[in-house]
Amino acid sequence: MTLKYAYYPGCVAKGACKELHDSTTGIARVLGIELVELEKASCCGSGTFKETDEFLEDTVNARNIALAEELGLTMMTQCSTCQGVIGRVNDKLKYGEQSQRDHVNQYLDGHHYQGTTEVKHLLWILVQDYGLDALKQKVQKSLNGLKCGAFYGCYLLRGQTMTRYEDPYHPHSLEDVFTALGATPIEYEGRTQCCGWPLASYATNASFSMAGRHLLAAIEAGADCIVTPCPLCHLNLDSRQPEVEKVIGKKLGIPILHLPQLIGLALGLNPEQLGLSRHIVSTSSVINSVLSR
Amino acid sequence: MKVSVRIRRQASRESKPDYQTYSVECSEGNTILDVLNKIQWEQDGSLAYRRNCRNAICGSCAMRVNGRAVLTCQNLVGEELEDQTELLIQPLGNLPVIKDLVVDMTKFWNNLKKVDPYVSTASRQIPEKEFLQLPEQREKLQSAANCILCGACYSECNSAAVNDDFVGPHALAKAYRVMADNRDDRTKERIEQYNQSGGVWDCTRCFNCNEVCPVGVEPLDRISQIKQTILQQEKMEDSTALRHRRTMVELVKEDGWIDESKFGLKVVTDSGRDLKGLVSLIPLGTRMVVKGKMPWPWKFKPSAGKLEIKALINAVSQHLKDQGKI
């Protein structure tokens, strides 16, 4: 049976991290996963709508989920933050009182949130629905010898409390994917912690110090690259890495890959097609190590 | 059952930490504190740690167990060993160690003092009878009032780890507790104070405080409530943090998705008015252009459902206004 999902791209994957959209759709084609893009969806608010009012976050995202329900499909996210925010709203409305659903539905003109679908990150879909054995069979270029450090993102691990995919302090889904692709997972302190992105627009020192300590820990543990399922983490760890280096006073130069880019390399996709040149920190060391096999 | 327990040892403030492993005979139903007691009483009297009530009330025995802060009198050996093979016990994070598992909490208490953590009635006349509080008034502050000041949230706080000025989740949960108290008469000053640097906007929303709090205070949610109150103020001095929140709502209402270049200019440069902000964006902008990463406004595609989203956000905003919430 073909796996088919309602694809929620999120803002960043269509803008500053377009390579995420390109690599997700690229690997979906190779793996035979059908994605129906939610063209009418909107930004989840990245956790800030709740700071204005929780009802704003609930209604905007109930509408997003309703769009997937109308297609009769599970919603697929590709961003830890989108997942944590939309997943939490789905948990709250699906398992909460009918009156909460009714209240939200009063505001969804032309749509109706029913609580009949799930919200799942690409990472969880690959591990749970597609299966790591099936993924392994699709590997064209084993990533043997490549040492990957995972960077999960707070919202993916701790954003949802009612339905949980894994232990927020001892997750292993990313490491399991690395192993399936032939790469070596590197464990380091910080892989479950915050990249600092939410503070990057105004508390830059704190934000970049946060990113810096985790990147240093990964390098010290021997990682060749960091792999993240969150484009917001990617922005702070890659695009801001020059500022991060300034704040901590140390050279880093560690490539940061989006999860589907790493998978795409193993599936034999062209690095250019995966957008690996659209990074601030050069990814050539990773590409060379994979292509030289 | 025999359990392997690895403990971080440190003889004094200045000495180098080391790890020591003990083998302890215990049962799944024992608490982590029972295990520590067994080690201290039966194997190694030199092990230092804090304990008192054994009943999750006093907050003395908070430590890091298998990577995150817990009350050792509350967590059971069996639960901890469900997916781990040994118990790893370390002192709380973000605070200096005095000896072994005992940390110096001076900074934690000083930070608490910074939020003026007392219900103030100074400007009122002393009433003949005590101040009364209705059950529904109490309900508003109940979760924050559960705090036992154990330090678990502070230990795992990502912001406290890098920002000395940040008062921490425990202090802000208390701040909300006094702010939400109907007997307190300093709301206006508090809102201004918590809006300052070191206050609510320095929280990075990593959820660790909510995750480890042993008594359901959910400090992050209390911080969000303070932020809501701040954002409701019409006459609040503008700041990048406030613009960040307001611009998010504004741009989603306009286009459905966020136009990132517009967002950056509005938030960081205050639509071109803040020259320092503008200058700060130049290196980032330049390198994004060079690498083909720049989200140019002419390449931005609004959501096909943008009119629906605008109507939805307008209707929700009206509802919140009617309720006096925004």
Helices B306-322 + B240-255 axis angle, to 10: 130
Residue A249 sits at the chain B interface (C-beta within 8 Å): no
> Which DSSP letter does residue B42 get?
I
Of A180, A119, A178, whose CA–CA distance to A151 is shortest?
Answer: A178
Q: Give the bridge partners for B63, in sequence order.
A: B70
Q: A178 lies in a domain?
A: yes
Residue A165 sits in a domain whose CATH number is 3.40.50.11810
User: What residues of B are in contact with residue A243 (Cβ under 8 Å)?
Assistant: 283-284
**Contact by Cβ (8 Å): A78, A129:** no
Q: A127 lies in a domain?
A: no
Shared domain check, A191 and A115 = no
Q: A179 lies in a domain?
A: yes
Rounded to whole angstroms, how far apart are CA atoms A238 and A221? 19
Under DSSP, is residue A42 helix (H, G, I), strand (E, B) or coil?
coil
Of A277, A235, A274, A241, whose CA–CA distance to B258 is shortest?
Answer: A235
**Contact by Cβ (8 Å): A212, A250:** yes
Shared domain check, A152 and A52 = no
Model pLDDT for residues A162-203, shown as the tens digit of each residue:
999 999 999 999 999 999 999 999 999 999 999 999 999 999
Q: Which residue in B208, B245, B257 is closest to A51 by CB distance? A: B245
Shared domain check, A182 and A202 = yes
Shared domain check, A204 and A148 = yes
Contacts of residue A129, defined as CB under 8 A and 6 or more positions apart, other chains included, come to: A3, A120
Q: What pLDDT sits at residue A292?
A: 86
Phi, psi of A185 (to 5 degrees): -75, 135
Residue with the two structure tokens 């957008």: A275
Rounded to whole angstroms, how far apart are CA atoms B25 and A25? 54
pLDDT (mean) for A58-85: 98
What domains can you pick out in chain B, each with its CATH number? 2-103 (3.10.20.30), 106-232 (1.10.1060.10), 240-322 (no CATH)
Domain end point (choices A60, A94, A121): A121
Please state, rounded to an integer, the average pLDDT across all residues of chain A. Answer: 97
Q: A252 lies in a domain?
A: yes
Shared domain check, A9 and A114 = yes
Q: A111 lies in a domain?
A: yes
Shared domain check, A287 and A166 = yes
Alpha carbon B162 to its chain centroid, in Å, reads: 13
User: What residues of A are in contact with residue B207 (Cβ under 8 Å)?
Assistant: 154-155, 157-159, 168
User: What residues of A are in contact with residue B306 (Cβ under 8 Å)?
Assistant: 42
Q: CA torsion angle for B102, B50, B145, A55 (degrees, to 10)?
A: 50
Shared domain check, A71 and A137 = no
Residue with the two structure tokens 């997937």: A68
Alpha carbon A194 to its chain centroid, in Å, reads: 14
Rounded to whole angstroms, how far apart are CA atoms B62 and B92? 7
Model pLDDT for residues A230-254, shown as the tens digit of each residue:
999 999 999 999 999 999 999 999 9
**Contact by Cβ (8 Å): A38, A261:** no
Q: Is the dihedral of CA B47, B53, B54, B55 positive or negative?
A: negative
Q: A8 lies in a domain?
A: yes
Shared domain check, A152 and A201 = yes
* Residues in B 20-59 with any Cβ partner in A closer than 8 A: none
Q: Mark yes or no for CB contact A206/B204 under 8 Å.
A: yes
Cβ neighbours of B307 (radius 10 Å): 12
Shared domain check, A205 and A87 = no
Structural domain boundaries, residue A169: 132-291
Q: What pLDDT sits at residue B215?
A: 98
Helices (H), A201-283: 204-220, 231-234, 241-248, 259-266
How many structural domains compose chain A? 2
Shared domain check, A138 and A281 = yes
Of A46, A34, A116, A132, whose CA–CA distance to A85 is shortest?
Answer: A46
Q: Mark yes or no for CB contact A11/B316 under 8 Å.
A: no
Helices (H), B132-274: 135-145, 152-156, 158-162, 169-179, 187-194, 208-212, 219-232, 240-255, 260-268
Q: What pLDDT sits at residue B125?
A: 63
Long-range contacts of the stretch B129-132 (C-beta < 8 A, 24+): B131/B183
Q: Which two tokens stand for residue B203?
A: 């929280």
Cβ neighbours of B151 (radius 10 Å): 23
Q: Which two tokens stand for residue A283?
A: 């990814």
Residue with the two structure tokens 């998010």: B248
User: What residues of A are in contact with residue B325 (Cβ under 8 Å)?
Assistant: 53
* Residues in A 43-62 with any Cβ partner in B closer than 8 A: 43, 45-56, 59-60
Q: A265 lies in a domain?
A: yes
Is B321 buried (19+), middle (13-18) or exposed (0-12) by CB count in 10 A? exposed
Q: A126 lies in a domain?
A: no
Phi, psi of B148 (to 5 degrees): -110, 10
What letter represents residue B202's amino acid?
Answer: D
Domain end point (choices A121, A140, A157): A121
Looking from the CA of A74 toward its CB, the CA atoms found within 13 Å total: 16
* Residue B130 C-alpha, separation from nearest chain A C-alpha, in angstroms: 34
* Residues in B 114-153 with any Cβ partner in A closer than 8 A: none
Shared domain check, A159 and A85 = no
User: What residues of B are in contact with residue A55 (Cβ under 8 Å)?
Assistant: 316, 319-320
The ipTM value here is: 0.96
Q: What's the predicted TM-score (pTM) here?
A: 0.96
Q: pLDDT tens track of chain B, all 326 residues?
A: 999 999 999 999 999 999 999 999 999 999 999 999 999 999 999 999 999 999 999 999 999 999 999 999 999 999 999 888 899 999 999 999 999 999 999 999 999 999 999 998 765 666 677 778 899 999 999 999 999 999 999 999 999 999 999 999 999 999 999 999 988 889 999 999 999 999 999 999 999 999 999 999 999 999 999 999 999 998 888 899 999 999 999 999 999 999 999 999 999 999 999 999 999 999 999 999 999 999 999 999 999 999 999 999 999 999 999 988 77
Contacts of residue A270, defined as CB under 8 A and 6 or more positions apart, other chains included, come to: none
Domain end point (choices A54, A86, A121): A121
Q: Which residue in B295, B311, B315 is closest to A16 by CB distance? A: B295
Shared domain check, A184 and A276 = yes
**Contact by Cβ (8 Å): A234, A10:** no
Contacts of residue B86, defined as CB under 8 A and 6 or more positions apart, other chains included, come to: B3, B4, B5, B6, B21
Residue A69 sits in a domain whose CATH number is 1.20.1050.140
Q: Which two tokens stand for residue A63?
A: 């509408």
Q: What pLDDT sits at residue B121?
A: 73
